Chain A
Amino acid sequence: MKPAAISPGSSKGEQSKFKRLFVEIWKYRMTYTLLIPGLIWLILFSYLPMGGLSLAFKHYRASDGIWGSEWTGLENFMYVFRDPAFIDAVWRTLYVNIIKLFITFPFPILLALLLNELRMRRYKKVLQTAFTFPHFLSWIIVSGIIINVLAYDGFVNSLLALLGLPTINFLGSEQNFYPMIILTDIWKSTGWGAIVFLAAISGIDQEQYEAAQIDGATRMQQMFRVTLPNIMPTVTIMFILSVGGLMSSGFDQIFNLANAATQNVSQVLDVYIYRITFQSSTDFGFSTAVSLFRSLVNMILLLLADRAAKWMGGDGLFR
């Protein structure tokens, strides 16, 4: 395809340009057939629902369907932004994910540093296996384990009682809900998160350590002056990427660890969307307006995270 040879604007030139394009497309027809199955999937289950977001500006009536319902402009949004439960859910989501970000985030780095310092190589492998295992289980399985271990008469509380300490109502108290969420998140995801940092550590040039040893640096000093600065770029990128998930992460965990006693504090945005759509009244226009808000905020956060990661010299989300 060389459009330069054709004088722009002349109808004959235009015609042969289209013809050439067509010939070119025909030449690659086999390649397009490779893309068709995947594209059909994306049209049906990604782009059609995206079009369905137009429902946010409509008054949904089951008889008219998504495409036939009557347009109402921003009416749904007026109701959404006046719903105190929605506002609460948004703030709660940000609150939970921000404290989670700051408390949970350092743990994988710490684990990677400690594992790196461990001198027993076999034991290191064993430990890593133990630490990464919970990552592969669904939050339903993990909740089953946690509900058992943290129950009022479970393992942890029995141990506390045995040691003469006061027992803690981990699961059924609004006050303890967020600490419990953070604790269990650390339990499940620290080992997996450490893998990225361990990889970054193994990429550090060994000569830096040798130079530090010649200068008489202790192992502590080597850890803080050589290892940590070298993995800082990875740390920054991982942090920025988790900022991208501020509005969306944690649903599986919160939904499965919540119960009747923690119904209010567990209502983050995704839980709110589930409840208004599938449990209480089904005003799909209203639900879709909330969905659209969520998708837009997510996209903006992701794009900002991507920009920031690139600005910090990383690869960003997409090359």
Chain B
Amino acid sequence: MSTLARKTKKAKVGTSRMGLMDYIIFVILTLGALSILVPFWNVIMISFATQKEYAANPLLMWPKDPTLASYKALFADGSIGTGYWNTLKLMAAGLPLSLFLTVSMAYGLSRPKFPGKKPIFFLILFTMIFNGGIVPLYLVMRDLHLTGSLWAVILTGSFSVFNMILMMNYFQGLPESLMESARLDGAGEWRILASIVLPLAAPIMATIALFYGVAFWNSWYDAMIFLRKADQLPLQNVLRAIIVESQTNASNATSVGQGVAQSFSTGMKMAAVFVTMVPIMAFFPLLQKHFAKGVLTGAIKT
């Protein structure tokens, strides 16, 4: 009914001509989108330009003689490569672990009843509104002898109550009769989870895997706290060292004198930004679809 009504409205709208207001809206929205796209474009173009050309024209929109010099210098430095490798290790260990923890607990909690379900669920929800904060977490990690190891970062990021609840809601929507008939055939809960529930859960698995994937890709705070050695740092922290920390040094340096030679040119910095951003860009169509679904079913209804 309502889709029909929407269709008739769409048809009507399509035939009527553009008014003044349509042009105003068009211009405002286009300017807004440009304010987002131009900085990205500028960054990418600088990474392909020579240092000389950028210095002459910061408004660079198209380099006259594009070069890969910045990328060559960046990879020759090696820290980005190490960062990539560490982030890949983080995800290779973190994704399976986080999916295992999330799926098992979500399926357990989606069971209609068992003694103690309410208090257990409350204790889990409570961690969403109250936490110890970073200081006790750091001390606990130190007591577990995990500081200085990538495992501290992997473990901290490998469970999210929010994601677990999203998945639990999905499981609760599956027909219980399927699980019941498997139970009558003598299958245990783990067996039912693996052979009946998971094959039906592909959409939510994709969504949650992307949630954890992006979170691991973008995480940097835990690594900054728990890791000590530079060669252990994930990609984001390497980028931070290249961009943010060198900027701090640069602004110190300007007060002393301009002469401090920086190891990273602007071109190399922008190449580092681009290299860190590329995987998100590649997965973006998928991310957009799944994240919107997540935020709409989760943030509002959960």
Tell yes or no: A224 within 8 A of B by CB.
Answer: no
- Min CB gap A181→B, angstroms: 15
* B115–A260 touching, CB < 8 Å: no
* A187–B101 touching, CB < 8 Å: no
Which residues of A are found within 8 Å of B140, using beta-carbon distances?
44-45, 48-49, 52, 66
* A130–B239 touching, CB < 8 Å: no
Cα-based distance from A195 to B37 in the complex (angstroms): 19
A residues adjacent to B (C-beta < 8 A): 1, 21, 24-25, 28, 30-35, 37-39, 41-42, 44-53, 55, 65-66, 111, 114-115, 117-120, 126-127, 129-134, 136-138, 140-141, 143-149, 153-155, 157-159, 162, 171-172, 187, 191-192, 195-196, 199, 205-207, 209-210, 219-220, 234, 237, 252, 256, 259-261, 273-274, 277-278, 284, 287-288, 290-292, 294-295, 298-299, 302-303, 315, 317-319
Main secondary structure of the interface of B (DSSP, over half): helix
Closest A residue to B44 by beta carbon equals A145
B residues adjacent to A (C-beta < 8 A): 2, 5-6, 9, 13-14, 18-19, 21-22, 25-26, 28-30, 32-33, 35-40, 42-43, 46, 57-59, 100-102, 104-105, 107-109, 111, 114-116, 120, 123-125, 127-140, 143-144, 155-156, 158-159, 164, 188-190, 193, 214, 217-221, 225, 236, 239-240, 243-244, 247-248, 251-252, 266, 269-270, 272-273, 276-277, 280, 284, 287-288, 291-292, 295-296, 299-302
Which residues of B are found within 8 Å of A45, using beta-carbon distances?
137, 140, 155-156, 159
* A131–B33 touching, CB < 8 Å: yes
- Min CB gap A47→B, angstroms: 8
* B132–A46 touching, CB < 8 Å: yes
* B236–A53 touching, CB < 8 Å: no
- Min CB gap A147→B, angstroms: 6
* B124–A260 touching, CB < 8 Å: no
* B188–A30 touching, CB < 8 Å: yes
* B190–A33 touching, CB < 8 Å: yes
* B39–A38 touching, CB < 8 Å: no
- Min CB gap B20→A, angstroms: 11
Main secondary structure of the interface of A (DSSP, over half): helix
Q: If the complex has contacts A34-B193, A114-B29, A147-B243, are A138 and B129 also in contact, measured as CB distance less than 8 A?
A: no
Cα-based distance from A55 to B269 in the complex (angstroms): 42
Which of B130, B287, B291 interacts with A50 by CB under 8 Å? B130
* A273–B135 touching, CB < 8 Å: yes
Cα-based distance from A26 to B140 in the complex (angstroms): 33
- Min CB gap B182→A, angstroms: 12
Closest A residue to B253 by beta carbon equals A260
- Min CB gap A185→B, angstroms: 13
Which residues of B are found within 8 Å of A155, using beta-carbon distances?
38-39, 42, 58-59
Question: Can you sample 10 A-B contacts with CB below 8 Å?
Answer: A45-B156, A48-B136, A119-B18, A127-B32, A140-B239, A143-B243, A144-B273, A148-B39, A260-B252, A318-B302
* B132–A141 touching, CB < 8 Å: no
Cα-based distance from A33 to B299 in the complex (angstroms): 29
- Min CB gap A198→B, angstroms: 9
Residue from A118, A136, A237, A295 whose CB has the most chain B CB atoms within 10 Å: A136
- Min CB gap B159→A, angstroms: 5
Cα-based distance from A28 to B29 in the complex (angstroms): 56
Which residues of B are found within 8 Å of A115, using beta-carbon distances?
29
* A127–B33 touching, CB < 8 Å: yes
- Min CB gap A269→B, angstroms: 11
Closest A residue to B133 by beta carbon equals A291
Q: If the complex has contacts A30-B188, A35-B104, A145-B43, are A136 and B291 also in contact, measured as CB distance less than 8 A?
A: yes
* B2–A66 touching, CB < 8 Å: no
* A302–B13 touching, CB < 8 Å: no
* A259–B248 touching, CB < 8 Å: yes
- Min CB gap B151→A, angstroms: 12
Closest B residue to A135 by beta carbon equals B291
* B132–A38 touching, CB < 8 Å: no
Cα-based distance from A209 to B2 in the complex (angstroms): 12
- Min CB gap B105→A, angstroms: 3
* B240–A32 touching, CB < 8 Å: no
- Min CB gap A221→B, angstroms: 12
* B39–A145 touching, CB < 8 Å: yes
* B130–A295 touching, CB < 8 Å: yes
* A25–B26 touching, CB < 8 Å: no
* A66–B104 touching, CB < 8 Å: no
Closest A residue to B34 by beta carbon equals A130
Residue from B19, B125, B136, B159 whose CB has the most chain A CB atoms within 10 Å: B136
Cα-based distance from A33 to B57 in the complex (angstroms): 63
- Min CB gap A40→B, angstroms: 9
* A196–B295 touching, CB < 8 Å: yes
Cα-based distance from A179 to B33 in the complex (angstroms): 20
Closest B residue to A67 by beta carbon equals B143
* A133–B284 touching, CB < 8 Å: yes
Which of B40, B144, B158, B266 interacts with A41 by CB under 8 Å? B158
* A49–B137 touching, CB < 8 Å: yes
Cα-based distance from A34 to B194 in the complex (angstroms): 12
* A136–B284 touching, CB < 8 Å: yes
* A35–B120 touching, CB < 8 Å: yes
Which of B29, B102, B188, B248 interacts with A38 by CB under 8 Å? B102
* B13–A119 touching, CB < 8 Å: yes
Cα-based distance from A287 to B42 in the complex (angstroms): 42
* B36–A134 touching, CB < 8 Å: yes
Which of B25, B39, B302 interacts with A149 by CB under 8 Å? B39
* A37–B104 touching, CB < 8 Å: yes
Cα-based distance from A260 to B252 in the complex (angstroms): 7
Cα-based distance from A249 to B280 in the complex (angstroms): 23
The 10 closest A-B pairs by CB, nearest first: A52-B136, A49-B132, A38-B105, A34-B108, A291-B133, A138-B218, A28-B114, A49-B136, A206-B5, A30-B189
